[in-house]
Amino acid sequence: MNDGPVFGFFLFIAVIIIIFVVATLSQQQAQANLQQVVRKYRGKLLYAGGFFSNTKLSIQVGSTQGELEYVRRGKVDYMVIRLPWPEARFRCQLQVEDAMKKLGKLMGMQDIQVGNFVFDDLFMISGEDERAVRELLTPSVQHQIVRLYKLHERSSMYSYRDLEVTWMRGLLAITKPRGSGSAEIVSAFIDAAADLYEAALGACNSGIEIISEKRVLVDVKTACPVCSDELSGALVQCTACKTSHHRDCWSYFGSCATYGCGSKRCRNVGGGRGAA
């Protein structure tokens, strides 16, 4: 009697059960991690996350309310913290300088130099007001940004050292790979982001009391990631990360402008025909 097919069937069932158990335990651990972060930072789980939505929670950073969101871009899972910024018209972006960005610099892409050779070599900096950018990026602010960059650097995952810091439309947004998403990793990220926020506010010295104004976080999904203007008129949506762009901005940029994505495929979502 040939028991091969029977053995194969039961082996298949066993593998399915193991996968289901592992996935269930992983989901339970992820939820436990989220609840731990929510309790520590006096926040609230806004979206649990799923196929059509990202995990998002409110957090309390000192006396300031912010948001933490988990997003997937390409094959990498990121965590993004957003905090209100008093200067709504100020725009600045820092990204880790890689080979592609070095090539972009040769082709004329903006890279503001702040005078710290190590920092300038590490990050590609862009902004509308170069003087204001340099005034914001004080040695203290640079130190906190480098600290965020090096966070979890002892991990075997080199991608942990990826980082983007953006000031735009009244928000400070900090994006970093989240790895395992453990409560310890997420907490360390939030604490380092809070220290950067405090240092940057000190450098800004605007005299605006954010908390007394009870500023509401702007939903960045309502702004085009290329021009920062409100999304209206002819729009396209990235098929990979679902970020909407103005059609003309997509054509100008040549791909998705969302950090960590870069997909060249999009679909029309409003007014006119989209570029594929």
**The pLDDT of residue 2:** 60
Q: Give CA 81 to chain center in angstroms.
A: 7
Read off the pTM.
0.66
DSSP H helices in the chain: 4-40, 99-106, 117-122, 130-136, 139-150, 183-204, 210-213, 247-253
Alpha-carbon gap, residue 236 to 241, rounded angstroms: 12
**The pLDDT of residue 214:** 41
- Of the CA atoms within 13 Å of residue 63, those in its CB half-sphere come to 6
pLDDT at 119 over 90: yes
pLDDT digit string, tens, across residues 223-265: 777 776 778 888 888 887 778 888 888 877 777 877 666 778 8
pLDDT at 157 over 60: no
Give the max Cα distance, the chain: 85
What are 146's two structure tokens? 């480098």
pLDDT digit string, tens, across residues 178-219: 877 788 889 999 999 999 999 999 887 643 343 334 444 444
- The domain segmentation of the chain, as residue ranges, is 26-218, 224-270
Which of 3-12, 88-97, 108-117 ranks highest by mean pLDDT? 88-97
Determine the residue type at 165. Answer: V
Within 8 A by CB and 6+ apart from 39, the residues are none
pLDDT digit string, tens, across residues 14-33: 888 887 776 665 666 667 77
pLDDT digit string, tens, across residues 38-93: 888 888 888 776 655 678 888 988 888 899 998 887 788 899 999 999 888 899 99
Nearest CA to 64 among 189, 197, 173?
197
Nearest CA to 184 among 40, 23, 25?
40
